[in-house]
Amino acid sequence: MSLRQEILRLGLGAAFVMTAGTATAASTLETTQKNDEVACGVSQGLPGFSSVDDQGVWSGIDVDVCRAVAAAIFGDADKVRYRPSSSKERFTALHAGEFDVLSRNTTWSLTRDTAQSLDFVAVNYYDGQGFMVRKELGVDSALELDGATLCINAGTTTELNAADYFRTNGMSFEAVTFEKSDEVVAAYDSGRCDAWTTDASGLYSNRIKLANPADHKVLPEIISKEPLGPAVRQGDDQWADIIRWSFYAMVAAEELGINAANVDQMKSSPNPEIQRLLGVSGTMGEKLGLRADWAYQIIKQVGNYSESFERNLGENSHLKISRGLNALWTEGGLMYTPPVR
């Protein structure tokens, strides 16, 4: 680039204006390929879902969706541009094209699917509201919480769900509400309430902030449905398919017993399902508009769903969340993938 061009560029660039070409003409996949990275909307930090480590590297189960998509498209899971967005601006930012996948612990609901013009493509974490109590209380079920004081975030659906649940079961409770979740944690920790209720993932991720995490347990009852999953803009079905199947490839890999360590051996497996998934036979990649080894790259670089879960949320993480609803359907959970054929 000549000096003159650089000066010209400086002048233009000074306005910070980036013209990303005409977005309407090109499909999202084409735009992504041109930019050589997947623009992925993540949270502003939620332990286990998307957070930043000491080196500034994003990790988490939501981040792994972004990485899987990048691995499927480019064969390189690191080709992701993370766009942290607040819960208030996430949908507009997706529509405005600031990012192409929203993988940000977002609950799939009818209104969001329709009125917000989103397409939820899969559920990567089945969450739901739960209760945490002190072990010394001797409570084993939420049904034993009659008359308890509950620490709750003010003005959220959490509060309404709890009220519904207690009324349905003919129990009473006293709510102690707080504006911020940090205050709720502090109040519960100081013993102001018997139990603390929020989404189960939140209970687990905040438990490690308590003075003695081992003294507390999460009760088995889940009283609301919070299916969290990646979403895309409505209207680009090919793109939605790519995100959906990038995630399903991870679940399918777990079903088939393929993981990052054994994926190379598995390539020579005689099982036709494995052969199709790994691109040894069939044209699955081509049908998605991707390379033949798309799923191989995902599994090799990101791992199967179990590996991602255990690394970010489960036993290998600080959170120690059990699989619960997120176990495979064959193991009593809800994780199920349509056949890859």
Partner 1 sequence: MMLNWMRANLFSSWGNSLLTLISLWLVWVIGSGIVEWALIDAIFTGDNREACLVPGAGACWPYVGAKWNQFIYGRYPLESQWRVDLIFAMGAGALIPSMIEGMRGRRWFVLFLLLPFPVITYVLLTGGMFGLAEISSDLWGGLVVTLIVAVTGIVASLPLGILLALGRQSDLPLIKAICVVFIEFWRGVPLITVLFMASVMLPLFLPDGVVIDKLLRCLIGVALFSSAYMAEVVRGGLQALPKGQTEGAQALGLSYWQSMRLIILPQALRLVIPGIVNTFIGLFKDTTLVLIIGLFDLLGIIQLTFTDAGWSTPQTHNTGYVVAAFIFWIFCFAMSRYSQRMEKRLDVTGER
Closer Cβ to partner 1, 153 or 161, answer by number = 153
Compute CA 150 distance to the chain's CA centroid, rounded to the nearest angstrom.
Answer: 27
Pairing mode, strands 101-102 and 38-42? parallel
Q: How far is the CB of 260 from partner 1 (least distance, A)?
A: 21
Which residues have CB under 8 Å from 229's CB, separation 6+? 106, 108, 120, 121, 122, 123, 124, 125, 247
Question: Candidates 82-90, 117-125, 160-168, 254-262 — which segment interacts with partner 1 by CB under 8 A?
Answer: 82-90
Contact residue for partner 1 among 95, 134, 225, 267 (CB under 8 A)? 95
Name residues contacting partner 1, limited to 150-189 (CB under 8 A). Answer: 182, 189
Residue reference for tokens 């359907």: 329
* 3-state SS, residue 107: strand
Query: Segment near partner 1 (CB under 8 A), from 92-100, 266-274, 293-301, 325-333?
Result: 92-100
Of the candidate spans 47-55, 169-177, 249-257, 284-292, the one that interacts with partner 1 by CB under 8 A turns out to be 47-55
Residue 9 binds partner 1 (CB under 8 A)? yes
| Minimum distance of partner 1 from residue 66's CB (angstroms) | 14
Part of the chain binding partner 1 (CB under 8 A), chosen from 90-98, 126-134, 236-244, 332-340: 90-98
Identify which of residues 5 and 265 has a Cβ nearer to partner 1 in the complex.
5
Should residue 6 be labelled a site residue for partner 1 when binding is judged by CB under 8 A?
yes
Work out which of 27, 52, 134, 291 binds partner 1, going by CB under 8 A.
52
Which among 315, 297, 293 has a CA at the least distance from the CA of 306? 315
User: How many residues belong to the chain?
Assistant: 341
Helix 237-255 × helix 294-301 angle, to 10°: 60
Residue in 137, 210, 280, 328 binding partner 1, rule: CB under 8 A: 210
Separation CA 224–CA 206 (nearest Å): 19
Reported as half-sphere exposure (CB side, CA atoms, 13 A), residue 175 has a value of: 18
Report the relative pairing of strands 38-42 and 51-52 from DSSP bridges.
Answer: unpaired
CA distance 268 to 164: 54
> Is residue 209 a contact residue for partner 1 (CB under 8 A)?
yes
| Closest to 251 (Cα-Cα) out of 128, 126, 129, 130 | 126
Residues 299-318: x where in contact with partner 1 by CB under 8 A, - otherwise, as a string: ------------------xx
88 binds partner 1 (CB under 8 A): yes
**Which residues would be at the binding site for partner 1 (CB under 8 A)?**
1, 6, 9-10, 13-14, 16-24, 44-48, 51-56, 81-86, 88-89, 92-93, 95-98, 182, 189, 205, 208-212, 317-319
